[in-house]
A = this chain, B = another copy of it.
């Protein structure tokens, strides 16, 4: 179902004429609206030719009395069909049989793109039932209890997210250990000496391919066949969700399960991706699940936390869950919270930040305890998690290095922008040509194979032997090297990407050849670009950091090669700066990334400065070319996410020019039959409720409120009619509506209402009586601000007499 009012003429344009003919044939004289209007507003000419003047007039004074009244579109192309009662049709209680809803709509700017995302109802519907509940709570002193429960939920979110993160962590670690140990042994057995022929390397190569494509294939198959929404990192989806876009199935338990297995298989399979992004998603699912106190997947309602069952409350929990997820992924509580704020949050509130922080802290603490126990650390000394390895010696820098850091930032920005652009092109290609499901699984396996092959070729052709001793790797592979030496190339590839980042940060100077790192950087850059967009669950953080660390270290090595006296060129330091620059170039975040890098590597606080310098330069340069990868993904998928500022294309436009009109309205007291028909025939999600309807032209009625499709369906399902009020009134509360949240039944589940024509629905109890309204002459930047700040779903445009002029939804702000 689409919230957008496009192309919903059930009959096409030609049939409009027919309907008008029908109407004419019915023999009713259309009572001119002019007369009704002039009854009161003598000085307002209601020229029906205004419609064509709208665009020309938009430049004039919007409140020039002449143009103040919005175009009465209906008088020109009145599409009202069916029978109209003679005489006064204004009485709200009067029912006009067989009047059809109006379906003609227009919006110049609305994006008519294919994916139909709905909006979430972040606006609290303060209808009568809600107010009743509020009043009941006031007397019950319920409200402090609600605050306490909210805290408990946030703490639970932290704990459970951490436990899930631990499980994923440990399984990945164990399986990778097994895999690379086996491969190392296989290599050692098959390549006994450096004079071996190439043929023997085939066996470990084939093993490696097998151990890559099997897990990747399993993961890709699960993602593709069971839950396609789990593909990718999940951050764009969570961000969209928090912005108010309903991404179907994003916060279900099944999604979580598939995502967890997907991440494990992909990372173990050796794809160029990390587990960090998916952790945010996992946290979000946990938060959404816990806060609702029920699982629709398992058809289990714990009958707790009922008061939190609406989109608004859920949003806050999901933000906390996301933060807990990042915190657990990186072991960085402050970084995780800031990440959520900087990247994901669209709405900000001090109390929310505060709860989010607690969830993050709890999450990191739980993670730390479990991992300490797992690693058998008994000394109970908390040293942080330092997922990317702690720098032993404090990193220092000189002032003259700042331009170098800035330069690295610029390089990061350029490489990041290029990466984003390349990735977008690859994904566009993918979307176009790889649509068959099985092909997607095969593609993932092929990319895994490609990675292994490239790695093998590198290992085979580059002779980079280093003496054993201060081994940066746990599984030194001898391969063609002398005894007491290990193959530095193999050590880069024979571990998870995260471990490789750690190596690049902390390996002593001289651990790699320049050729090795150059080739590695190029291969990994391309590989990560091809990987992100595959139908597997993987994050982009670690591969991006890895590429950055590689070229950062490489540049330091090159510079040291050219200027051997420059001993400030600590390769680990430059690897860190390179990682920051590359991350800044791809993700375009600054504060959270610098804090996360600090928290995961334990560098000095004074090192904030170079990190931030590199990140800011990278962001600035990158922003010149394109948007960050998450925003790009959102845009490519046509998710109608609202940016922080209105798009520049909207400058100078007014509400009149972007609104959709006429609007399908429902009378305050309308026939159940009519409502049923409206719901059947159009898929709008919000209907203005009007009274003072003249001649059954509902879309000219005076605004009383707005009602959601979901509410109307519940009303019809439960038969909440005026005529049988005595039966349902006592037991109908806001809970009646909450019980079906979040999976509202479709109109198809309502049985046909032919025999119920006599029933009337009184919406005054159910509708939201306070929809936000704007004038047709209001500027778009202004109404955008209102729409964004209040997290609205529908914005009603009214004329001077409080009558419906049009409706604006999320999609009207997304210019195409």
Contact = CB atoms under 8 A, between A and B. Distances in A.
A398 B384 contact: no
Contact of A770 (B65, B644, B692, B775): B775
Interface string A26-59: 0000000000000111110000000000000001
B42 A39 contact: no
A383 B604 CA distance: 9
Determine how many copies of this chain the complex contains: 2
Contact of A128 (B62, B365, B398, B778): B62
A65 to B, nearest CB: 7
A702 interface: yes
Contacts of A61: 128, 764-765
A786 B790 CA distance: 7
A126 interface: yes
Contacts of A798: 802
Given A599-B605, A779-B131, A782-B126, A773 B770 contact: no
B398 A702 contact: no
Interface string A581-598: 000000000110011001
A134 interface: yes
B652 A383 contact: no
Contacts of A429: none
Given A644-B351, A801-B802, A383 B361 contact: no
A234 interface: no
Interface stretch (A296-304, A438-446, A523-531, A608-616): A608-616
Contacts of A41: 692
A396 B383 contact: yes
Nearest to A384: B606
Contacts of A90: 42-43
A599 B591 contact: no
A581 to B, nearest CB: 16
A92 interface: yes
A91 B380 CA distance: 83
A609 B382 contact: yes
A676 interface: no
A759 interface: no
B128 A63 contact: yes
A364 interface: yes
A225 interface: no
Contact of A651 (B92, B138, B354, B386): B138
Contacts of A770: 774-775, 777-779, 782
A644 B43 contact: no
Given A43-B90, A380-B398, 17 more contacts: A63-B705, A63-B769, A65-B691, A138-B652, A143-B648, A333-B609, A334-B612, A357-B591, A361-B609, A380-B399, A380-B400, A383-B396, A384-B604, A384-B605, A386-B606, A769-B778, A770-B778
- 10 A-B pairs with the lowest CB-CB distances in the bound complex, closest first: A384-B606, A348-B348, A789-B789, A380-B399, A770-B778, A63-B769, A63-B764, A61-B128, A599-B605, A380-B398
Interface of A: 39-43, 59, 61-65, 68, 90-92, 124, 126, 128, 131, 134-135, 138, 143, 333-334, 337, 342, 348-351, 353-354, 357-358, 361, 364-365, 369, 379-384, 386, 396-400, 402, 590-591, 594-595, 598-599, 602-606, 608-609, 612-613, 616, 644-645, 648, 651-652, 668, 691-692, 702, 704-705, 764-765, 767, 769-770, 772-775, 777-779, 782, 785-786, 789-790, 798, 800-802
